[in-house]
Chain A
Amino acid sequence: MLELIRHPWHWSIAGFLIGLTVPALLLIGNKSFGISSSLRHICAACIPANIPFFKYDWKKEVWNLFFVAGIMIGGFIGNYFLSNPEAIVVAPHTQETLQQLGVKDFSGLMPVDIFSFDNLLTAKGLVFFVIGGFMVGFGTRYAGGCTSGHSIMGLSNLQWPSLVATISFMVGGFAMTQLLLPYIMHWVN
């Protein structure tokens, strides 16, 4: 059994379990699924700075912070107790393209060529952590949700603005990967 859990899970099982989060949250406490809102609650709790957007009773929404704390713990359990003993299998074409862009290490879930502390104060760190993170936080709030709030919760509830948002997420992602990333990798290497 543990052996089965340790292997990477099939997309259908993962998708089914993620989809079940929608009714689970609705039924255990009338909560709509969404994760990027946690970033807003953190702002409201720590640095509201008299900005109207952050003036609300964040304590009423504190469940969302418990939820993301749980995700962090789940990430820990998943990687330290249930981890896959073998290296991740990356699609050959992606691996080839990334190698040309200067990514060398394909052994972990994340490329250590990029996501390590050594890169924090370099151009790589600036792009991949600081600018990338900023765009995730700014963009999700501007769009009013992320992959969970729009793509999963919004589409589950048949909301067409969520479809617009989801298409925009994908267009942005394709543009970055296909058009901009080669230039960025060239610059940071």
Chain B
Amino acid sequence: MEKSVKIPHADEFVILPEKGEKSYVNPHPVECEAPNEQVKKETIFSNLKYLIVGVTFGIVFVKAEIVSWFRIQEMFRLDSFHMYGVIGTAVVTGMVSVLLIKRLNIKTLQGEKVQFHPKTFNKGQIFGGLIFGLGWAITGACPGPLFAQIGAGFVVVIVTLLSAIAGTWVYGLLREKLPH
């Protein structure tokens, strides 16, 4: 029988019966902000549709100059409305879409009910948010634009990406010791 254990501020973990108490796996990282809720299994081929959405998204990032370090500087100096306009329009579009999906009970292409995830508050949203904000203003990139910058030919940003992966890893390592 699988036993589950709850780690503070973390997901539900399942202890593997054959490996004992020390070894547990997380069946599904729900507190991850972008969980896959599709029940139907997906092949590598069917994953290509997310690649195509990503390509469109990357083109928008470059063409609207969201990947530009200068645009981020303008935003934090209140010298341009551009980034506020982009994020504001995106939020309104997203809000209306989510509202329509909920109200009209629109199903996914596979006929499944769309799953939404309420966020629970913890202090990490403030501490982590401040740390990310400080980094955002230096690198001129949140995680999405990091990938687009590399694709756009700013190859040195690979170093920034590797550092970001290292930062994520160190967070995972220190997680239980940090205030949440």
Q: Which residues of A contact B (CB under 8 A)?
A: 5, 8-40, 42-43, 47, 49, 51-57, 60-64, 66-80, 82-84, 88, 90-94, 97-98, 106, 109-111, 114-117, 119-120, 125, 127-162, 164-178, 180-181, 184
**B172 in contact (CB, < 8 A):** yes
Q: Which residues of B contact A (CB under 8 A)?
A: 7, 10-11, 13, 24-29, 31-39, 42, 46-70, 72-77, 79-83, 85-95, 97-98, 100-101, 106, 108-110, 112, 114-122, 124-144, 146-157, 159-173, 175, 178
Is the CB–CB distance between B51 and A140 below 8 Å? no
Q: How far is B54's CA from A159's CA once the two chains are assembled, in angstroms?
A: 24
Is the CB–CB distance between A144 and B148 below 8 Å? no
Other-chain contact of A40, B32, B106, B109, B117 (Cβ < 8 Å) = B32
Q: How far is B148's CA from A71's CA once the two chains are assembled, in angstroms?
A: 5
Q: How far is B159's CA from A117's CA once the two chains are assembled, in angstroms?
A: 10
Q: How far is B70's CA from A35's CA once the two chains are assembled, in angstroms?
A: 22
Is the CB–CB distance between A173 and B75 below 8 Å? yes
Q: B172 to chain A: which residues have CB within 8 Å? A: 40, 43, 51, 53-54, 141
Is the CB–CB distance between B89 and A39 below 8 Å? no
Is the CB–CB distance between B135 and A134 below 8 Å? yes
What are some 30 contacts across the A-B interface (CB < 8 A)?
Answer: A15-B88, A18-B86, A28-B53, A29-B42, A30-B114, A32-B33, A34-B33, A34-B34, A38-B143, A53-B172, A56-B11, A82-B59, A83-B62, A109-B69, A109-B149, A109-B154, A115-B154, A131-B135, A134-B170, A136-B141, A136-B167, A139-B129, A139-B135, A141-B168, A146-B132, A147-B142, A157-B98, A168-B129, A173-B72, A176-B136
Is the CB–CB distance between B79 and A11 below 8 Å? no
Other-chain contact of A110, B26, B34, B68, B100 (Cβ < 8 Å) = B68
Is the CB–CB distance between B70 and A172 below 8 Å? no
